[in-house]
Amino acid sequence: MSTIFDKIISREIPAEIVYEDDLSLAFKDINPQAPVHLLIIPKQHIATINDITEENREIVGHLYWVAAKIAAQYDFAKDGYRVVMNCNEDGGQSVYHIHLHLLAGITMGWPPFANNRPKQV
């Protein structure tokens, strides 16, 4: 299934792209939650973390490698940053094409969830 991120990859819709290689693309989130809020996505369509397979798993390591590369380039590697990948409804995923959120420029809080009653799992 095609998503808005496929349209960003194909340049059908604009985005502020900060990094690109054969496998991935990184661009600014349209609704930033931190002074730096980038999305790092594979060019290959993988809908959710649940769709990572033995064949495509290496791309996820690649996305983390890109995150570290950008952190060094933008000089927030030493101060620190957060990298998050949301999965499905409870994880807060809204675009079904896996992406790393790279957040920086502010001290992060923990835990990251809203103050809701935990589910029975």
Contacts with ligand 5GP, residue ranges (CB under 6 A): 4, 15, 27-31, 39, 86, 92-95
Q: How far is the CB of 4 from ligand 5GP (least distance, A)?
A: 5
Q: How far is the CB of 101 from ligand 5GP (least distance, A)?
A: 6
CA distances from 76 to 20, 27, 59, 64, 67 (A): 19, 17, 23, 15, 11
Question: Any catalytic annotation for residue 101?
Answer: no
State which amino acid sits at residue 71. A
Rounded Cα gap, residues 57 and 51, in angstroms: 9
Q: How far is the CB of 78 from ligand 5GP (least distance, A)?
A: 25
Q: Calculate the CA dihedral of residues 73, 78, 81, 82 and round it to 10 degrees.
A: 110
Q: Could you say which of 37, 97, 99, 101 is catalytic? A: 99
Total residues belonging to the chain: 121
Quick one: 54 or 66, whose CB is closer to ligand 5GP? 66
Beta strand pairing call for 100-104 and 36-42: antiparallel
By the 8 A CB rule, do 82 and 60 touch?
no
Q: Catalytic site residues?
A: 99
